Amino acid sequence: MTRASLDKQPQEVAEMFDDVAEKYDLTNDVLSLGQARLWRKEVAKAVDARPAQKILDLAAGTATSSQPFARTGAYVVPCDFSTGMLTVGKKRYPHMPFTAGDATRLPFADDVFDAVTISFGLRNVQETDQALRELYRVTKPGGRVVICEFSQPTWAPFRTVYTEYLMRALPPVARTVSSNPDAYVYLAESIRDWPDQPALAARLQGAGWSKVAWRNLTGGIVAMHRGFKA
């Protein structure tokens, strides 16, 4: 079984997600204590997909995250660099235009999408700033980005408890439900290592996005950032 390291070599990360593809959605529901579904609903509200709009769902995995956008009548492209995830997703949603792609070199033209979004995937990209620039490039002027990612709880005592859960409780729980529990050790470490809310907002602004703001979910365990392309 594959476990990526924190230098996030693309091939290692892709192989790790290939390993966990079959049970990935179930494992996320268990490890998040059901919160993952709530977070998806909030992302759908923020993206605000409309009929005939083009939406890029990057790091879409099996395209579970894409379904709320598709139900609005938008044209949704689920994109991921894990072929294992894409294969599982295509079996579940054969009508969707699954696309293999690297976040740092997206296989799309400039100014294509009305909205671009990535949930719990930006953290796994080796070159975060390049990915943010690529998302900007493929977005139409006036379009929007929504990023949902693990972040830093805002209340210090809870932050301590949360960190203990990540590093001590998460791996044993993952062993009971995941085909590759070592992958979740990496995920816990990558969450702990990720920038906080203001730092990610600054990186979005550095990539060209304007009107950048964020909203904390579940006490800051997750933060949802949004920006616009002028």
| Residue 120 per-residue DSSP state | S
The answer to whether 66 and 146 are in contact (CB under 8 A) is no
Q: CA-to-CA distance for 5 and 187, rounded, in angstroms?
A: 10
Task: Please check if 80 is assigned to a binding site.
Answer: yes
Closest residue by Cα to residue 51 from 65, 68, 71, 36: 71
Taking residue 212's Cβ as centre, other Cβ atoms within 10 Å add up to 19
DSSP assignment string, 155-173: SHHHHHHHHHIIIIIHHHH
62 is in an annotated binding site: yes
103 vs 125: CA distance, rounded Å: 7
Q: What whole-number distance in Å separates Cα of residue 67 and Cα of residue 85?
A: 15
5-36-129 Cα angle (round to 5)? 45
Ligand-binding site membership of 139 (annotated): no
* Residues that constitute the known binding site: 62, 80, 102-103, 119
Binding-site positions for S-adenosyl-L-methionine: 62, 80, 102-103, 119
